[in-house]
Amino acid sequence: MKPWREVAVPHRDVLEGTFQQSEFAADITAVKSCKASHEYQDAVAFYERTFITEGMAMLLTQVAQRLAGKGGEPVVQLQTAFGGGKTHTMLAVYHLATRKCALAELSGIPALVDRAGLMDVPQARVAVIDGTDRGPSQSRMYSGQAVRTLWGELAWQLGGAEGFALVAESDAAGTSPGKEVLRELLERYSPCVVLIDELVAYVRQFPESQAIRSGSASRDFFATAYGEREGKYEGFSFGGGEAVFDDTLLLIDPDAAKSYEEANRPAEPASPAEPATTSVTGAPPAGAPPSSEPGIPTATPQPASVKPKVFYGTAEIPPATAKMHLVNLADEIIALLASDPNANVRLTVEISAEFPDGASDSIKRAVSENANSLRLKSADWE
């Protein structure tokens, strides 16, 4: 039997001892900005070092057919565990679409093109949206133009200043440009490929429980809610301009949100009848002091109203949407009460939980530790 190194000859860097583990940390933004190592930056070198798996072959075939106008899926979602090769697969698509060489020079690609029934694969514009490359509060400068949003980034990468002009107002306001504008953008600069990586990492950078008022103010954005019970959404908001991004937030497709809103629209109240108009003339009522002008009765003085001095309020809050309700109480009631500098506002939060089968040790331990850290005045178990 031959030694394994003669059957599968290692790459030169392995044989020479110059191999670096960091080379396997694919960075799609570094490739887009021409800052990656040669093995990732150069299309020929990339494919020489890439084993095209069955899943990657299927994806590249779909992309090739789509760019050639011969079918292919317009949207493909990659679902793998961490380290499963999503970024590496996207780089394979990137190099296929942006290559500066003949297809025959890309190892493994000619066979895929043949099986797809194609003669060639057109080159295309590529936009790379990398969630780890920038935060929601960070803008980027392109030729003196500040780009603040993901759709602004998409437009600039595809069409430069001309493409960005389509979404400039929405980018400045932080609101969605809408489907029609994005459709026009993609059609104007087709064939094009949009690669979106680490989008969840981007969303995680929103400060927890901070209201985001820009994108959610548009009805092209998803509707939001904080729970669903018997077909009804808790805290449903569509185009309301405020959403608290945390782990309780539900995103509802705009079309589904419109249907839900229409089905649950309250009935219009009946218009009240017009009150009869009475003309008052003549002498004042008996016993009333005389008016200074004839024909106009004198108004009876009203006693001064007594101002309330104390407010009490209680609320039962569903546990599943507690965070949303507590935020609303703080914003809509507590903040108003505390706006008077002379008001003495006191808050007491009561929490009770019953466990028919007894609370588990892990819950008891975690709750007790958190209660101590949060300095609850009392935290007792029975």
Q: Convert the pLDDT of each residue in 150-180 to its tens digit.
A: 999 999 999 999 999 999 998 888 888 888 9
Cα(140)–Cα(125) distance, rounded to whole angstroms?
20
Token digits for 335?
């903040």
Radius of gyration (C-alpha) of the chain in whole angstroms:
33
pTM as predicted: 0.55
Q: Residue 229, SS3? A: strand
Q: Give residue 47's pLDDT.
A: 94
Eight-class DSSP state of 131 = T
Please check whether residue 193 is in contact with residue 93, taking contact to mean a CB–CB distance below 8 angstroms: yes
Strand pairing class (125-130; 192-197): parallel
pLDDT 10s digits, 66-109: 999 998 889 888 876 555 688 899 999 999 999 999 999 999 99
- 70/352 Cα distance (integer angstroms): 62
Above 90 in pLDDT, residue 5?
no
Peptide bond into 275 cis (omega under 30): no
What percent of the chain shows pLDDT beyond 70?
79
Using alpha carbons, list the distances in angstroms from residue 126 to 32, 75, 155, 159, 252. Answer: 9, 14, 11, 10, 29
- Asked whether 134 and 144 are in contact (CB, 8 A), the reply is no
Sequence-distant contacts of 149-157: CB under 8 A, at least 24 apart = 149/174, 150/202, 151/176, 151/177, 151/182, 153/127, 153/129, 154/127, 154/129, 154/185, 154/194, 155/185, 157/125, 157/126, 157/127, 157/128
Q: What's the confidence (pLDDT) of residue 278? A: 43
Each residue's pLDDT tens digit, 116-129: 889 899 999 999 99
Specify the 3-state DSSP secondary structure of 225.
strand
Predicted confidence band of residue 281 (pLDDT cuts 50, 70, 90): very low
Q: Per-domain residue ranges for the chain?
A: 9-122, 124-205, 207-263
Summarised one tens digit per residue, pLDDT across range 231-242 is 888 778 877 655
Strand partners, 228: 233
| The pLDDT of residue 279 is above 50 | no
Contacts of 283 (CB under 8 A, 6+ apart): none
